[in-house]
Structure 1
Amino acid sequence: MRPFFTILVTAASWIVTIASAQDEAPSCDRLCLEGILSDFLNAMVAHDPSRLPTTPDVIYVENSQKLKLGEGEWKIAGKLGKYNHVFSDPESRQVAAITTMTENGVGIIYVVRLRVEDDGRVSEIETQITRDAIGAARYENMTVPEPVWLEAVPLEQRISRERLITQTNKYYTGMERNDPKGDYSFFDKDCNRLEDGLQTTNQRNGDPYGHSNDTSFASLGCEAQFQTGFLGFVTEIRDRRYPVVDEERQAVFAITIFDHNGTVRELPSVNGTSNPIPPYFDVPRTLAASEAFRLRGEKLFRIEMTLTEVPYGMRTAFDAGESVDLRGTGTSVTAPDPCNYACLEGTKFNSSGLIDQVLEALLNNDTSKLPLAQGVRYSENGQFLALGDGLWQTITYVSKPGSNGHAAKFSNPAMGTAAYWGLIKEQATPGLLALQIKLEKGKITVIEAIAVRAESSGERGGTQTLMRPPLPIEWQGDDLGSLEPIVEENDEHNAIDPQLIEAYLNGLERHSSAEVAFAAACVRRDNGVQGNLTCAAQMNGYGSNPNGLFNTTTTIRDRRVLVTDVRSGLVLVVALVDYPASYPGPLPPAQNVPSTYMVVQLIKVKNESISRVESMIKWMPFGYTFAWSEQV
């Protein structure tokens, strides 16, 4: 028999060992994480974020936009669906799910990632809404994930957390510009991929893949698909994050950004011939993707993904460890200082003004002849891009004022600003370009482009932004006609009170023209359509699509008067209009979703009144903010 003291010491050591093991164990295991995820989903459909324990500084993101907790989908989420594919990572205290729910009775694919702190409170909520009712229906028909996703892999068959991420990252590296001669041996021979619930590998049904007309690509396996080089239209996959690594099930949940810069003009086919790129890829596109991977050993065995479109160049809302400086390099060229009207706009007989130089540089994708300041900033639809990216690579035509169509240029020499408004083409896709140029001490410091592209519902999805709700008034590239003389004429004695423009924007927000000076014959066109009501009546909310939108829009924010030209009476204004979809109304269910509209407007002021408004509208994810507004 052992002495009592020895037994006591042994017991004490065992207790210490157990306590240490408990200290090292995750504070929230799989069951705990999945319970919190369930609480979140139930809180969402109950429209009650208070049901979820959160930290005071919780970050809530919806389709890459930071929102206040309780905004966006919290207002309109319907019923939870049957499909719920969960990924748990006790080590990082994160959990994610690809699931389904309804939104105004319409099915959506809903992706969520949560980070849980030691005390059980949620500190990060990242969601992606894919408004693909057909895809949601596929998932509902599946009801549950394929069983292999849910199996616990024996310890001896698992690879490390780091190795899971390394092997998954090879998928994105291989897809980016998709070299047909690359090494794609990281795919399992039995690999399959789901996209919005649709199997897009090893299919023999003859359906075309994505926006293309290729009917053979989906018949191939994962490795064979990459060996065709077909996916080379994906020009960059950035902001790659692997927040949830489910080691027990050997699965990785990844969040990435796919860029398609519009420069790839042909798709290689599996039979060796080339296909023209679909019209959707005429212009730069960015897609936010959520994707899950199940590995078998070292190889990718199952892939499940969904995505939605965000503005081109959009960065992730969470740090992906990538620091990118998009400021431009200066040139030795210098413009006159000061730069007068002729310097900025050119003359009737000489199209060599600064505006013309920038348009020519855009067409040639050559900035070397421009007077650029060191650190010059370029933005496109509110996102900072590198000079030479975006429009610079896709624009093929620019309409010229007074000669070939809908175009105007104007300036404010006192402020060193100049503007262009006119029709453009990117490949075969029409668009409207509003351009601001800012000059300081003979150097361009800012080039800001607002591009509203035609969105047609043609074959294979046409050119419509993926997963967006319909606009009240769609512009599909219809001819906008020439700008009337009233827009183009100059008046040396004109005056523009800044308070008039502020009152106009306030009136749009309040749906009231009470404090806005409109000319009696004021004309308003939204996305090229002129209504039969006066400007004042539309502002007051009358008509089916007042001001090209709904009479239940709310905040008008990020208001920016880009250029005010007293001589011509022209003002270039851009703003973001929120539609939270939190009010009952007659809108169709698919249209009644939280949205933000980027509205760029060319306003004509004459005799201290607004006499004409040309307005172009582009849908944005709800809560979208211009990068200029985020600058310190």
Structure 2
Amino acid sequence: MGYRKFLRFWHYLVVLLITGQLINNAFAAEPEWGMVDKKECDRACLVAIMDGYMNAIFMQDKGIVPPLAQDLRMTENTGMMDVGEGVLWRTKSEPTEFKIYVADPVNEQVALQTRLIIGGQNALVAVRLKIDRGKIQEIEHLYDRDINDAAIPLLTTPVPLLTEDVPLKKRASRDMLNRIANTYFDALEGDNGRIGAFAKECVRHENGYRTVNNPPPGGRMMPAPFIPTADTEQGKEMLRFSMLTCTEQINEKTFAHMKRIRPRRVLIIDEAKQIVGTFPLFVHDGTSRTAKPGDPPGMMLNLVTMETFSIRDGLIHHVEAAPFVTLPYGLGNGWTMDSGR
């Protein structure tokens, strides 16, 4: 064999070896099937994946993120980005004790509603993960950093209705939980509180403020630090409204400016806690179902949030809505084609 033929032979041999190794590595990415090695990801498993992901954010270390799927998709405040990008990843964040986990082993999804300290500032955050065979396939971040200190008292410890297990005998089915959660949105769209499966004592927290069923003499009726006073007619009316029940507030058609609440994305049904995690899109196009001819247009904006419903005995007892992420009218939720109008 001549020298040139010898070199070509070795080149050919090296290429074969490298190609074979690459093929082996590609197929080695997933182990051979074995039922013994496969474990279902239960509620505790999903929560552990969420905790692992959040710990990576707190450490600002992509290297310790739980396994990611090859077709991973991620958004933050509806904008598409990659792991390591965005406010939550690139701004120093610290956890607090306010944590609401909603975990669904059937749909392999888990969400966390929480208060974080982001860049030294209080922020409300919702994170959703979808898991596929042990790997994170979807990541959704929502955050609102405009949190006033007046909201902190209700953002220190979650209400027990959102964190306690419900005995098996008292649990509603998945289908019933889904139906009950949807009645909340149906009632708002229909301007009829009786459509909603509301308990009389139903309470709603919005960005840390109690906005319904306030005890006398009343309190906030909107998610803002401002507390009305009874020294003006407007203040008296606001205090009156704040003391109404969930059903009564909707019956007054105060929310008629909401054109629609769709897509609702009732994504996470936590049977153990009897809570339902949703990621609805509120669409406001400037119209109102109570507007009179010639009235000027109202607000034109969209809003994405996470709303968690606590359901007991077939009724909604608590609604935790946060964070509020406002968008220009026409923009969607980042996940549903053609949403936003």
TM bucket normalised to smaller: 0.7 to 0.9
How far, CA to CA, are the matches of 1:308 and 1:266 in structure 2?
25
Seen in structure 2, the aligned counterparts of structure 1 residues 134 and 205 have a Cα distance that, compared at 3 Å, is: farther
Structure number having the greater helix percentage: 2
Q: Secondary structure at the match of 1:215?
A: helix
How far, CA to CA, are the matches of 1:155 and 1:218 in structure 2?
35
2:83 paired residue number: 69
Q: 2:206 aligns with which of 178, 195, 210?
A: 195
Deviation per residue, 1:269-295 (Å, 9 max, x gap)? xxxxx9xx9x9x834110112100011
1:124 paired residue number: 138
How far, CA to CA, are the matches of 1:93 and 1:77 in structure 2?
29
How far, CA to CA, are the matches of 2:211 and 2:331 in structure 1?
27
1:239 paired residue number: 263
Query: 1:85·1:97 contact (CA, 8 Å) conserved in 2?
Result: yes
Q: Which amino acid aligns with 2:147?
A: A
2:172 paired residue number: 159
Seen in structure 2, the aligned counterparts of structure 1 residues 227 and 282 have a Cα distance that, compared at 3 Å, is: closer
Q: Which amino acid aligns with 1:288?
A: V
Q: CA deviation at 1:323?
A: 6.8
Q: CA deviation at 1:130?
A: 1.5
Seen in structure 2, the aligned counterparts of structure 1 residues 262 and 294 have a Cα distance that, compared at 3 Å, is: same
Q: Secondary structure at the match of 2:204?
A: strand
How far, CA to CA, are the matches of 2:304 and 2:326 in structure 1?
6
How far, CA to CA, are the matches of 1:127 and 1:39 in structure 2?
15
RMSD of aligned residue pairs (Cα, Å): 2.8
Q: CA deviation at 1:77?
A: 3.4
Q: 1:179 aligns with which of 185, 191, 209?
A: 191
The structure whose RCO (Cα within 8 Å, separation 6+) is larger is 2
Alignment pair present for 1:309 and 2:326: yes
Q: Within 5 A, what are the aligned runs for 1:80-99?
A: 80-99=95-114
How far, CA to CA, are the matches of 2:243 and 2:40 in structure 1?
45
Q: CA deviation at 1:139?
A: 4.3
Q: Secondary structure at the match of 1:316?
A: coil
Q: Secondary structure at the match of 1:152?
A: coil
Q: 2:274 aligns with which of 250, 265, 270?
A: 250
Unmatched 5+ residue regions in structure 1?
1-21, 268-273, 325-382, 386-632
Q: Which amino acid aligns with 1:296?
A: R
Q: 1:293 aligns with which of 283, 286, 309?
A: 309
Q: Which amino acid aligns with 1:160?
A: S
2:129 paired residue number: 114
Q: 2:50 aligns with which of 21, 29, 37?
A: 37
Structure number having the greater strand percentage: 1
How far, CA to CA, are the matches of 1:266 and 1:184 in structure 2?
18
Deviation per residue, 1:52-97 (Å, 9 max, x gap)? 1212321111011111211112111321122111111111111101
Query: 1:85·1:144 contact (CA, 8 Å) conserved in 2?
Result: no
Seen in structure 2, the aligned counterparts of structure 1 residues 236 and 288 have a Cα distance that, compared at 3 Å, is: same
When the two structures are superposed, what TM-score results if normalisation uses the length of structure 1? Answer: 0.43
Query: 1:60·1:126 contact (CA, 8 Å) conserved in 2?
Result: yes
2:157 paired residue number: 144
How far, CA to CA, are the matches of 1:265 and 1:237 in structure 2?
14
Query: 2:154·2:208 contact (CA, 8 Å) conserved in 1?
Result: no
Alignment pair present for 1:102 and 2:117: yes
1:55 paired residue number: 69
Q: Which amino acid aligns with 2:191?
A: D
How far, CA to CA, are the matches of 1:227 and 1:288 in structure 2?
23
Seen in structure 2, the aligned counterparts of structure 1 residues 197 and 229 have a Cα distance that, compared at 3 Å, is: same
Unmatched 5+ residue regions in structure 2?
1-34, 229-233
Query: 1:100·1:140 contact (CA, 8 Å) conserved in 2?
Result: no
Query: 1:184·1:227 contact (CA, 8 Å) conserved in 2?
Result: no
Q: Which amino acid aligns with 2:221?
A: Y
Query: 2:91·2:119 contact (CA, 8 Å) conserved in 1?
Result: yes
Query: 1:87·1:253 contact (CA, 8 Å) conserved in 2?
Result: yes
Seen in structure 2, the aligned counterparts of structure 1 residues 140 and 54 have a Cα distance that, compared at 3 Å, is: farther
Q: Secondary structure at the match of 2:54?
A: helix
How far, CA to CA, are the matches of 2:198 and 2:248 in structure 1?
10
How far, CA to CA, are the matches of 1:63 and 1:133 in structure 2?
16
Seen in structure 2, the aligned counterparts of structure 1 residues 185 and 63 have a Cα distance that, compared at 3 Å, is: closer
Alignment pair present for 1:209 and 2:226: no
Q: CA deviation at 1:47?
A: 1.7
Query: 1:184·1:226 contact (CA, 8 Å) conserved in 2?
Result: no
- Between the two proteins, the alignment pairs up a number of residues equal to 288
Q: Which amino acid aligns with 1:284?
A: M
Q: CA deviation at 1:49?
A: 2.3
Seen in structure 2, the aligned counterparts of structure 1 residues 140 and 151 have a Cα distance that, compared at 3 Å, is: same
Seen in structure 2, the aligned counterparts of structure 1 residues 185 and 92 have a Cα distance that, compared at 3 Å, is: closer
Q: CA deviation at 1:122?
A: 1.1
Q: Secondary structure at the match of 1:190?
A: strand
Seen in structure 2, the aligned counterparts of structure 1 residues 313 and 97 have a Cα distance that, compared at 3 Å, is: same
Q: CA deviation at 1:305?
A: 0.3
Deviation per residue, 1:296-326 (Å, 9 max, x gap)? 121111110022101212222224xx777xx
Q: Which amino acid aligns with 1:231?
A: F
Q: CA deviation at 1:164?
A: 0.7
